[in-house]
Amino acid sequence: MKNSARLLSDLLERVAEVGRTLRSYPPGQTGILDQCHVLLSSKGEATSLATAREILDRFPNLAPGEKHDFFCRLLSEFGPDMTATAASIAAWQATPDSATLRRLHFASEPRSQELVRRLNRAPGGTGGVVAMRKDLLACLKAEPGLKALDDDFRHLLSSWFNRGFLELRQITWSTPAEILERIITYEAVHEIGDWSDLRRRVAEPDRRLYAFFHPALHADPLIFVEVALTREVPEKIGTILAAQREITHPNQARTAVFYSISNCQEGLRGISFGNFLIKQVVEELRKELPNLTTFVTLSPVPGLRRWAEAETLPSALRATVAQIARSGAVPDQAMAELAAFYLAGTDGSGSGARDPVARFHLGNGARLERIHANADPSPKGMRESWGVMVNYLYDLKDIEANHEAYNGGGAIVCGPVVEKTLNKIQKV
Amino acid sequence: MKNSARLLSDLLERVAEVGRTLRSYPPGQTGILDQCHVLLSSKGEATSLATAREILDRFPNLAPGEKHDFFCRLLSEFGPDMTATAASIAAWQATPDSATLRRLHFASEPRSQELVRRLNRAPGGTGGVVAMRKDLLACLKAEPGLKALDDDFRHLLSSWFNRGFLELRQITWSTPAEILERIITYEAVHEIGDWSDLRRRVAEPDRRLYAFFHPALHADPLIFVEVALTREVPEKIGTILAAQREITHPNQARTAVFYSISNCQEGLRGISFGNFLIKQVVEELRKELPNLTTFVTLSPVPGLRRWAEAETLPSALRATVAQIARSGAVPDQAMAELAAFYLAGTDGSGSGARDPVARFHLGNGARLERIHANADPSPKGMRESWGVMVNYLYDLKDIEANHEAYNGGGAIVCGPVVEKTLNKIQKV
Amino acid sequence: MKNSARLLSDLLERVAEVGRTLRSYPPGQTGILDQCHVLLSSKGEATSLATAREILDRFPNLAPGEKHDFFCRLLSEFGPDMTATAASIAAWQATPDSATLRRLHFASEPRSQELVRRLNRAPGGTGGVVAMRKDLLACLKAEPGLKALDDDFRHLLSSWFNRGFLELRQITWSTPAEILERIITYEAVHEIGDWSDLRRRVAEPDRRLYAFFHPALHADPLIFVEVALTREVPEKIGTILAAQREITHPNQARTAVFYSISNCQEGLRGISFGNFLIKQVVEELRKELPNLTTFVTLSPVPGLRRWAEAETLPSALRATVAQIARSGAVPDQAMAELAAFYLAGTDGSGSGARDPVARFHLGNGARLERIHANADPSPKGMRESWGVMVNYLYDLKDIEANHEAYNGGGAIVCGPVVEKTLNKIQKV
Amino acid sequence: MKNSARLLSDLLERVAEVGRTLRSYPPGQTGILDQCHVLLSSKGEATSLATAREILDRFPNLAPGEKHDFFCRLLSEFGPDMTATAASIAAWQATPDSATLRRLHFASEPRSQELVRRLNRAPGGTGGVVAMRKDLLACLKAEPGLKALDDDFRHLLSSWFNRGFLELRQITWSTPAEILERIITYEAVHEIGDWSDLRRRVAEPDRRLYAFFHPALHADPLIFVEVALTREVPEKIGTILAAQREITHPNQARTAVFYSISNCQEGLRGISFGNFLIKQVVEELRKELPNLTTFVTLSPVPGLRRWAEAETLPSALRATVAQIARSGAVPDQAMAELAAFYLAGTDGSGSGARDPVARFHLGNGARLERIHANADPSPKGMRESWGVMVNYLYDLKDIEANHEAYNGGGAIVCGPVVEKTLNKIQKV
């Protein structure tokens, strides 16, 4: 806490210099921060909406440094009302009951929250606030003190993007092109090469794509998942992405494979929808296709290689890494052992599994089912994990128990094959 | 504050007795309050949604007394975390900067807020929370201490029902019957007798009905306004509501009359949409019918008679009231003077105009334009205001100025005719 | 044929007198028949559409006599081109092959067909043509010679309202009010009392209503069927129409009862949709509710009483009719025998079953399953059939065979209970 | 007529040989023609639909020769009923009135019409019939006698695709991808390179694309037109198709340019929608953008070069052609004169203008406004017309008059600039 408090005062000093710039930007006109103050004190509702809209229109045109200063000034100038807070504290201390305590909470609300609420009311305001937070997150890296401001954004966005307001839609070849175009842009796992590639992923009978939408973000998805319907659990991504392949009739599929999950809105980072998305898609698919018995992912292992090359490993695994470095490859079993050790272990920090994708699926209640070497020979796959991919299994009857075991005590539940691999390593 | 604090401790004592009842309701099952505690501490997301749904399903079946106790227990058991708050206060006092102050705000959040957020995430949760608040408002009358709990509901509902999420729709004879049925039910000013009456109000070429909807409340409007397109500003409600009347072609109308505005959701009381509704409808109408020049209401004066019979009035007006009491009627001019005195005056409490409908329109920036005696001979009209009705004028170029004048200093802007009437009274 | 040819020349004479009226109607303006000639010879397409629209707008305002004359003049003035036909006949006789024969067909097309086609092209033209045929059918009674003109209308409307263009929609409480209002108006079997009655028929979980629509008749249904989902096959209409009754959960229903079928467009008489409607609704219901095993009607017997009071009956049945005349009632069994005799017999004219409703369902492939005395005590039910109602059974595996047996040889297929009743009568 | 009758008997002979093949195709199964006979005599409606569907499913898989034979057999085996026709002729000759004449028309209807009607009733039948006619048109070239069969198809399709059933839709970037994909495929004038090219044509503010749809052809357009909104009348196609160009704000546009019109359904050839499409689009645009004053095409001249290289021309023009042959180019004015002579002249056959695109627009009532040399340097443009393009002007007040002048007497209306060019040639 000390640390971030220091950073905060540092940055406020620096901000002081550029204050005038912001205030008078552009020359001869009211500065954007002045407009924020106007917005907060505004009583006229039409002017209030117009001011909000202007702020949202001007903000994206600020230079990076100006954005940084804008946020720092928001943090310092739009904090809670100190006098009111102090009075509320005194009131609570005099009468320490639930009512005075609740009043203290409202009295200490940062004014930046009301500011963001008013921005959100403008036509198209929600999209503007999400875009603004994207910039805030970018500034956060250099200026950790802005975390306190981001708390406001995250608090409000969590409330507005709560699950009850989201709408699940299947994306098909009848979906408006403006949405499909965004799917191409947002796909973050297995790039969509062109419209033909997209068509295969949404229009072939054994492929599905589902997305979450929020009513205030028109035609702009929040997150989506791509599904392949197959007979067996797949071991390689190539069999799923191939342009030429045999189609499985949906009624003969036994397995639904979640082979790509992409978050679309950088500005909603930390507000999780993926969990709900997968579960709701499982519900949809089970209703439509009662023949499906297995729900599984085919997932990348983005952190494997960086971890293996940086950490001190048990000697057997160290040998594996060395062999890869020499010859570019190792036997599948050796690769699987290395990956199992990485995936099933924790880094001791209490933040769960080492791998971010593992954290997501284990946190949702999936279990670590299978590990496949040579599953993704793409440049990205080789660069991140020497081509290793993983199946996480969503077994409906165990999801809640797994979820609580992981979130409670950090237990990583593995399927029998992975268990066996792990036992082998431990014996070594 | 003392007062409500006292009330609070009183009620908590009484609640103690019924605690066991609630907790064990129904016998052999977990009590609904226990479920609230479970919901708040839940980590599994599926069970969390299921628990939320169960609470919302059980709540409406509680007896009135049980609901009262439920809210009192929410207030006392789901307040802020005292320990965390105390620590945050200490931290702020040690380092009194923006960051510690902001943390104090989050640390002191009542747990009831998170509880309501989790209820809202259930399928259909938003409707359930709105319904719950309706009951809370009913309990509030007997138990003012519950105001502190209602602050949480209102805070969250204001955030979720913010203007950026609302959708304006014109209601026509092509609207689904389930929505039209609700319009009939919700109409609170001039009762809709049956489906034929409704049909006239939505399907005749010179009648319009617009409503606001929220995406989470399917097919259930929040507020609606009924509009008549006329040549002249109307002086009596009868000419508008008549089943047999001459239709005005929309292109020949000069005036749009807002003759009925109804709030639909008791549970959203205090979260104002009417202002936006009127302004957006004005925009829609101007775009569609550029020939419209005048936007005006024909409004009831619900508080006139109760006020006139209770207050000490200037002698001339006292004579008017006495004459009405004797003969049931007075000359129009005398009635208009009485009403003008009532409408243009304030009660000195600083809460604005005396009449609630006046407060709404003046607060929106309309001005008090005309007063009509014998305008509403219905039983309700006679009972509330001896048949007096009022035109409030929405003059686009003055709305913002009027709005700020009223909300700033409580200035009630009147049109020239009303001004003249008022001058006459003052001379007397 | 002689007969109708005579009638035709009679009417043409009479028409001659009123010709000038029509031609100059309204005074100072082109007559509607002149406009028809203009339309037929028009080459400009915009003027053509405008002329068509004008004819359709003027026609409904003609007095009944004027409509009659209008149709007679269409018949006589817009027949086939005699010269061209004669030439085509000569060509065919010279070269009697398929090509000359086909040309003869096109050459002899009545000009009234092209006229109706051009009327149909106007905006909203299809509705206008359907309305015009309704009037034509009304004139047909007094003027059988107009049948030749009606052949053109029926030929074209059959083509335009072919099954491939129809759309089946379920009517629910979310359906636009303008459609629901028409359902109330068009219901021809069991009157819909008001909107609450309608609501029960479309919104209760064990009630369904399906209608066919045509894209060119916006919001105006062609035909609809009302369905009750029940456990058992019902024996009385009262149990279905009751406002207060126990709801059957759709998943526990075994039987779908078609209890009311109404044609909506008088102008489409003779163009049958009912057959397709029932079959498509059976498909929809089976897909949605696999638990349904029995598809059956509960139908009126509109012709029973008139027939029984007019025909010479076997003595046992004559006694039944006499007893009803005396005491107003007979034992159920006697009534069932009377009805069975009526329903299962034919009138010898080769036009199938005696009863029109029986003709419809037997013609669709249903069988006569059960007969219920005292099933419809409404005034209409008593007036038409002394309260008798009937179940026709749609047994999917037999429909085609029954259909062909009936349409081929007029065989009326009965269920075992009706067979038994019939045997009993024959023994008597 | 002789000629086509001869061809007909020739082909029937040849068909006789392959009859057995068709009838027994595929071996051990009913032949497709036998199925047609079954369909025509079918009384059961479900089997009828199933048979129709089977015929439509089998037909596309026939080999080209089999299709040819199929149509020839339809022509010979599904003609009018000769006996009934002969009887009707006799009846008419006995009583030569309107009624007997009308009966003759119905009696002589080719059975192929009823066959096509029954095919059309199958699910998706309309699309199947349109596809079948496409093949019929292909066979027609080699076998002109099939024209008599095509008359049936064209007669029925004209009736089903009449203007009253068509729906105009604007195609935008929100249109389902499956429709946009077909637009790319069907564009016949200026090829759409890829989805980015399409996006420019439908999503940029000064570009529009409108299409006609028929309710029985889901997601499959009939015809579409592409529109550019510009300030001036454009002289080159390049300025319209350029990927990088300045956008014109729609409110500042004065001109709507129809720069591409494509028919989509080969099987609907000869059933014209383009005329209605252009006029309805003009209506839409005028309503939306009252600032538009000029509606004009920028059209290709597909027949210019073939004509110029084949015909005997006046000496001045012959010199122009010779010069092009030598040097590949001529001065713009010489090219414009050559094109004017081509476009404004007729070929004396009474079939109107020489150029097919000219015939279309002049027939719609447009006038020949401007001729531009070097307007389309694409390979197709050079190959067809040495790069010449033309503006046809749709001047609303003259359309009907021009239309009738052209269709009546073949008058080609030209604008003043073209008139001047023509005068110059004539003087030469």
Q: What are the pLDDT digits (tens) for A110-133? A: 999 999 999 998 888 999 999 999
Question: Given this model, what pLDDT does residue C275 score?
Answer: 81
pTM metric for this prediction: 0.86
Name the average pLDDT for chain B. 89
Q: Which two tokens stand for residue B54?
A: 């169960």
Q: Quick one: average pLDDT of B232-248? A: 95
What is the least distance, in Å, from the CA of D273 to any CA of chain A?
25
Q: A220 - beta bridge partners?
A: none
d(CA C399, CA C397): 6
d(CA D348, CA D25): 49
Residue type, C118: R
Q: Which two tokens stand for residue A215?
A: 């009513």
Q: Quick one: average pLDDT of D397-406? A: 87
Contact yes or no for A400 and B46 at CB 8 A: yes
Question: What are the start-end ranges of the H helices in C59-194?
Answer: 64-77, 82-94, 98-107, 111-121, 125-142, 147-160, 177-186
Contact yes or no for D117 and C399 at CB 8 A: no
Q: A333 - beta bridge partners?
A: none
Return phi, psi of residue D400, to 5°: -65, -40
Question: Given this model, what pLDDT does residue A427 score?
Answer: 67
Share of chain B above pLDDT 70, in %: 91
User: Is residue C204 within 8 Å of residue C241, measured between CB atoms?
Assistant: no
Q: Which residues of B touch A159 (CB under 8 A)?
A: 117, 156, 159-160
Q: Quick one: average pLDDT of A140-154? A: 93
Look up tokens 């100025």; give the residue: B401
User: Is residue C100 within 8 Å of residue D5, measured between CB atoms?
Assistant: yes
In DSSP notation, D248-305 reads PPGGG--EEEEEEEEE--GGGTT---HHHHHHHHHHHHHHH-TT--EEEE-EE-TTHH
d(CA C230, CA C203): 15
Same domain for B409 and B304: yes
User: Is residue B48 within 8 Å of residue B118, measured between CB atoms?
Assistant: yes
State which of B160, B190, B219 marks the end of a domain: B160
Same domain for A200 and A103: no
Q: Which two tokens stand for residue A196?
A: 């033909």
Q: What is the pLDDT of residues A360-374, one digit of tens each?
A: 999 888 999 999 999
Q: Is D114's pLDDT higher than 50? A: yes
Q: Residue D294: which region, alpha, beta or left (left: phi > 0; alpha: psi -120 to 50)?
A: beta
Same domain for D208 and D230: yes
Q: Provide the 8-state DSSP code for C97.
A: S
CATH of the domain at C123: 1.20.140.90
Shortest CB distance from D195 goes to which of A174, A195, A219?
Answer: A195
Interface pTM (ipTM) of the complex? 0.83
- Give the CA radius of gyration of chain C: 25
Name the average pLDDT for chain D. 89
Same domain for C133 and C208: no
List the Cα angle A337/A341/A342 in 5-degree steps: 115
Residues of C (246-275) whose Cβ lies below 8 Å from B: none
d(CA C168, CA C282): 12
CA torsion, points D301, D303, D304, D307, in degrees to nearest 10?
-170
Length of chain C: 428
Residue partners of A236: CB distance under 8 A and separation at least 6: A372, A374, A375, A376, A389
User: Is residue B197 within 8 Å of residue B185, measured between CB atoms?
Assistant: no
Residue C312, SS3? coil
Domain that holds residue B272: 164-297
Residue B316, SS3? helix
Question: Given this model, what pLDDT does residue C87 score?
Answer: 94
What is the least distance, in Å, from the CA of D5 to any CA of chain C?
7
CB atoms within 10 A of CB B157: 22
Handedness of CA B266, B270, B274, B279 (dihedral sign): negative
What is the least distance, in Å, from the CA of D173 to any CA of chain A?
6
Contact yes or no for A99 and B148 at CB 8 A: yes
CB atoms within 10 A of CB C63: 9
List the Cα angle C400/C403/C405 in 5-degree steps: 110
Q: Does C174 touch chain B (CB under 8 A)?
A: yes
| Beta strand ranges found along D301-377 (DSSP E) | 367-372
Please tell me which residue in D68, D190, D214, D361 is annotated as part of the active site. Answer: D361
Q: What is the pLDDT of residues C212-234, one digit of tens each?
A: 999 899 899 999 999 999 999 99
Q: Which two tokens stand for residue D169?
A: 């839709």
User: Is residue D219 within 8 Å of residue A174, measured between CB atoms?
Assistant: yes
Q: Which residues of B touch C175 (CB under 8 A)?
A: 176-177
User: Is residue C231 within 8 Å of residue C253, measured between CB atoms?
Assistant: yes
Q: Quick one: average pLDDT of D243-256? A: 95
Confidence of residue C347 (pLDDT cuts 50, 70, 90): low
Q: Mutate which of B169, B171, B178 to test chain C, going by most C C-beta atoms within 10 A?
A: B178
Share of chain D above pLDDT 70, in %: 91
| Terminal Cα-to-Cα distance of chain B (whole angstroms) | 43
Same domain for B408 and B304: yes
B247 burial level (CB within 10 Å; 0-12, 13-18, 19+): exposed
Q: Quick one: average pLDDT of D209-235? A: 95
CB atoms within 10 A of CB B390: 27
Confidence of residue C15 (pLDDT cuts 50, 70, 90): very low
Same domain for A271 and A184: yes
Q: What is the pLDDT of residues C74-127, one digit of tens each?
A: 999 999 999 999 999 999 999 888 788 889 999 999 999 999 999 998 888 999
Question: Given this model, what pLDDT does residue C49 score?
Answer: 83
What is the least distance, in Å, from the CA of B219 to any CA of chain C?
9
Same domain for C169 and C48: no
CATH of the domain at B372: 3.40.630.150
D155 noted as active-site residue: no
CB atoms within 10 A of CB D2: 7
What is the pairing mode between strands B255-263 and B294-297? Answer: parallel
Q: Mutate which of A169, A170, A171, A178 to test chain D, going by most D C-beta atoms within 10 A?
A: A178
Question: Given this model, what pLDDT does residue A43 score?
Answer: 72
Q: What is the pLDDT of residues A156-195, one digit of tens each?
A: 999 999 888 899 999 999 999 999 999 999 999 999 999 9
Q: How many domains does chain D have?
A: 3
Same domain for A352 and A254: no
d(CA B380, CA B117): 40
Q: Does B169 touch chain A (CB under 8 A)?
A: no
CB atoms within 10 A of CB C328: 9
Question: Given this model, what pLDDT does residue C348 score?
Answer: 66
d(CA A60, CA C334): 88
Q: Does C44 touch chain D (CB under 8 A)?
A: yes
Q: Residue D410: which region, alpha, beta or left (left: phi > 0; alpha: psi -120 to 50)?
A: left
Contact yes or no for A176 and D176 at CB 8 A: yes
Q: Does A63 touch chain B (CB under 8 A)?
A: no
Q: Quick one: average pLDDT of B302-323? A: 90
Same domain for A213 and A171: yes
Q: What is the pLDDT of residues A316-353, one digit of tens each?
A: 899 999 999 998 888 999 999 999 999 998 766 667 89
CB atoms within 10 A of CB A182: 17
Q: Does A176 touch chain D (CB under 8 A)?
A: yes
d(CA B62, CA B56): 11
Name the average pLDDT for chain A. 89
Question: Given this model, what pLDDT does residue B300 score?
Answer: 96
Shortest CB distance from C95 goes to which of D5, D98, D167?
Answer: D5
State which of A131, A160, A189 marks the end of a domain: A160
Q: What is the pLDDT of residues C201-213, one digit of tens each?
A: 999 999 999 999 9
Share of chain A above pLDDT 70, in %: 91
User: Is residue B178 within 8 Å of residue C174, measured between CB atoms?
Assistant: yes
Residue A229, SS3? strand
Question: Given this model, what pLDDT does residue B330 score?
Answer: 87
Q: Which two tokens stand for residue C207?
A: 């009630």
Q: Which two tokens stand for residue A300?
A: 């990348």
Please tell me which residue in A68, A190, A214, A361 is annotated as part of the active site. Answer: A361
Q: Does A410 touch chain B (CB under 8 A)?
A: no
Shortest CB distance from C177 goes to which of B177, B194, B219?
Answer: B177
Q: D300 - beta bridge partners?
A: D389
Same domain for C188 and C139: no
| CA distance to A278, B45, B120, per residue, from A364 (Å) | 9, 9, 21
Least confident of C95-99, D166-170, D331-335: C95-99
Q: Does D199 touch chain A (CB under 8 A)?
A: yes
Q: Closest by alpha carbon to D347, among D356, D360, D334?
A: D356
Q: Is B28's pLDDT higher than 60? A: no
Q: Quick one: average pLDDT of C388-417? A: 90
Total beta-carbon pairs less than 8 A apart between chain B and chain C? 38
User: Is residue D112 within 8 Å of residue D75, measured between CB atoms?
Assistant: yes
User: Is residue D159 within 8 Å of residue C160, measured between CB atoms?
Assistant: yes
Confidence of residue A44 (pLDDT cuts 50, 70, 90): low
CATH of the domain at B236: 3.40.630.180
A71 burial level (CB within 10 Å; 0-12, 13-18, 19+): buried
Question: Given this model, what pLDDT does residue D24 score?
Answer: 40
User: Is residue C70 within 8 Å of residue C32, measured between CB atoms?
Assistant: yes
Q: Is A152's pLDDT higher than 60? A: yes
Same domain for B93 and B21: yes
Same domain for B241 and B133: no
State which of C297, C317, C343 marks the end of a domain: C297
Q: Is B23's pLDDT higher than 80? A: no
Q: Is C14's pLDDT higher than 70? A: no
